[in-house]
């Protein structure tokens, strides 16, 4: 959702319930390099379900994030931010010609398309569209109608973020869904037209979205998380938090490490993930035109660092499964800071920052 035009580079700001992360990129010839970066933890209960519950604490954290940033050069006052996934809706909608009316303007005019979207949207999205911001992108147009990708977010959520940014003297040029930012980093040029499932395994939740022909067709939030797996290890093996986290790093889902204990422990979770993947594929094939076989599953987020998780998912689904490389478009500026584990947690900020380096991407 675009708010302003920009004349300079905008930094990417990733907001989660636990952390704030920023990345600012810069073009150097044909290369893209990281200019500034930072990460800080948010106070407990500062954000809940994407809503700012402690505005002053959030503002203080935002000030600290920008004032203590690492890297070189001035940090932009403009940002590309992420919308809370649990409060946003993304839907691909088919619009058909209205035979009952004769509009003064051709049906393919933006005002007419938006009117049709608002009329049909309540059938697809369970929120009051009169109190929501709506953004849309025309995907396909033909004599039988239009295919549009629609994004919706409650006004009070966006207004609360914009208000905080203003207090921090920051200008939000764009606010977009997390899936769009991740896809911008994860999808390689040779796979841009392929049908893929991308799974972002985070600390508090896992997001699954289907990407096809350059478009995110739909997103799903799954009841699986990094914290959940840690808790299972703690309860089953009687480990404390630190020891459980260490076991995840050392053993992972390797059959030959730790006697395969974690692979056995998470067998049911893996089966559940396989089931969710199959349901997503079935939904895609049943509800969309011109579908193609899913060629690849891509894993990202902190949970993708689980040893052998890609191999196990590939065995279960019989679909090629790989881990995302967050740095295939950008050089890692500091491998000591951006370890493989930390790099995955910055993937959303990187995707937002990629949109922020070119004003043409901010429309």
Q: What is the pLDDT of residue 84?
A: 87
Angstrom distance (rounded) from CA 45 to CA 182: 25
Give the mean model confidence (pLDDT) for residues 258-275: 87
Average pLDDT, the chain: 87
- pLDDT reading at 159 higher than 90: yes
pLDDT of residue 98: 61
The pTM for the full model equals: 0.87
For residue 312, the SS3 value is: helix
Q: Looking at residues 335-352, what average pLDDT do you find?
A: 93
Whole-number pLDDT of residue 316: 94
* Mean pLDDT (whole number) for 12-19: 93
Domain assignments of the chain as residue spans, ordered by start: 11-84+155-186+328-362, 87-154, 189-323
Mean pLDDT of 287-296: 89
pLDDT digits (tens, 9 = 90+) for 166-202: 999 999 999 999 999 999 999 988 888 899 999 998 8
In this prediction, residues 137-163 reach a mean pLDDT of 88
In this prediction, residues 244-258 reach a mean pLDDT of: 82
CATH topology of domain 11-84+155-186+328-362: Nucleotidyltransferase; domain 5 (3.30.420)
| 189-323 homologous superfamily | ATPase, nucleotide binding domain (3.30.420.40)
Residue 19 pLDDT > 70: yes
pLDDT for 62 equals 97
Could you say which DSSP state residue 70 is in? Answer: E
What CATH number should be reported for the domain whose range is 87-154? 3.30.1490
**Which is nearest to 132 in space by CA: 89, 177, 77?**
89
| Mean local confidence (pLDDT), 61-87 | 93
Alpha carbon separation from 223 to 276, 302, 321 (Å, rounded): 10, 16, 20
Quote the CA–CA distance of 254 and 184 in Å, as a whole number: 30
Give the residue with greater pLDDT, 96 vs 218. 218
Percent of the chain scored above 90 by pLDDT? 49
Q: Which structure tokens are listed for 215?
A: 């478009």
Is there a common fold for 87-154 and 189-323? no
């Amino acid at each position: 959702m675009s708010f302003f035009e920009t004349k300079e580079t905008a930094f990417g700001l990733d907001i989660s319930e636990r952390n704030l992360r920023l990345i600012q990129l810069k073009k150097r010839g044909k290369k893209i390099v990281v200019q500034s970066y930072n990460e800080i933890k948010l106070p407990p209960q500062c954000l809940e379900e994407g809503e700012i519950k402690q505005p002053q604490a959030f503002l203080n954290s935002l000030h600290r994030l920008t004032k203590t940033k690492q890297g070189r050069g001035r940090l932009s006052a403009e940002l590309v931010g992420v919308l809370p996934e649990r409060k946003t809706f993304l839907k691909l909608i088919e619009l058909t010609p209205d035979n009952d009316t004769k509009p003064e303007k051709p049906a393919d005019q933006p005002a007419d398309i938006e009117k049709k979207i608002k009329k049909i949207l309540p059938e697809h999205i369970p929120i009051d569209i009169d109190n929501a911001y709506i953004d849309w992108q025309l995907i396909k147009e033909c004599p039988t109608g239009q295919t549009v990708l629609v994004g919706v977010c409650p006004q009070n959520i966006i207004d609360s973020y914009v208000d905080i940014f203003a207090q921090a003297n920051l200008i939000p040029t764009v606010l977009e869904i997390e899936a769009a930012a991740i896809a911008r980093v994860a999808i390689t040029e040779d796979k841009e037209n392929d049908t893929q499932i991308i799974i972002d395994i985070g600390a508090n939740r896992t997001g699954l979205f289907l990407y096809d022909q350059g478009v995110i067709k739909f997103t799903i939030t799954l009841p699986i998380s990094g914290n959940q797996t840690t808790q299972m290890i703690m309860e089953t093996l009687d480990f404390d938090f630190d020891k459980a986290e260490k076991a995840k790093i050392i053993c992972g889902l390797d059959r030959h490490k730790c006697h395969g204990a974690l692979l056995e422990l998470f067998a049911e979770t893996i089966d559940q993930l396989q089931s969710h993947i199959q349901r997503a594929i079935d939904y895609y094939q049943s509800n969309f035109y011109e579908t193609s076989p899913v060629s690849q599953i891509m894993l990202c987020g902190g949970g993708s660092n689980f040893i052998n998780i890609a191999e196990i998912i590939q065995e279960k689904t019989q679909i090629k499964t790989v881990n995302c490389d967050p740095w295939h478009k950008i050089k890692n500026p500091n491998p000591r800071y951006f370890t493989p584990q930390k790099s995955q947690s910055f993937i959303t900020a990187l995707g937002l920052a990629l949109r922020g380096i070119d004003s043409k991407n901010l429309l």
